[in-house]
Amino acid sequence: MKHKNSFLKRVWADVSLDDIKHNYSVIRGLTSPKTKIMAIVKADGYGHGAVQTSRVLSDMGADLFGVSNLDEARQLRHGGITVPILILGYTPYECAPELIEYDIMQTVYTYDAAKKFSDAAEWLGKKLTVHLKIDTGMSRLGMMYQDKKRDAGAIDEAVKIYSLPGLEFNGIFTHFAVADDDAAFTRRQFDLFMYFCNTLEGKGIDVGLRHCCNSAGLINYPDMHLDIVRPGIILYGLPPDNKLESIEKFDLRPAMELKTAISYIKEIDENTPVSYGRIYTAPKKVRLATLPIGYADGFSRIFSNGADVLINGCTASVVGRVCMDQCMVDVSNIEGVDTSSIVTIFGHDGEHFISACKIAEYLGTIGYEVICQIGKRVPRVYILNGHEAGYLNYIEGGIN
Q: 3-state DSSP call for residue 79?
A: coil
Handedness of CA 243, 244, 250, 256 (dihedral sign): positive
Rounded to an integer, what distance in angstroms lies between the CA atom of residue 285 and that of residue 47?
39
Three-state SS for 135? strand
How far apart, in Å, are the Cα atoms of 331 and each of 10, 64, 288, 293?
A: 18, 47, 6, 16
Tell me how crowded residue 212 is: count the other CB atoms within 10 A of its CB.
28
Exposure string (b/e) for 40-70, b if CB count within 10 Å is 16 or more?
bbbbbbbbbbbbbbbbbbbebebbbbbbbeb
Q: How many CB atoms lie within 10 A of CB 249?
A: 11
Residue 42 annotated in active site: yes
Instruction: With beta carbons less than 8 A apart as the criterion, state whether 254 and 237 touch.
Output: yes
Radius of gyration of the chain (CA): 24
- Catalytic option among 42, 116, 133, 259: 42
Tell which residue, 386, 314, 316, 318, has the closest CA to residue 352: 314
From 9, 249, 264, 276, the catalytic residue: 276
Catalytic residue positions, numbered:
42, 276
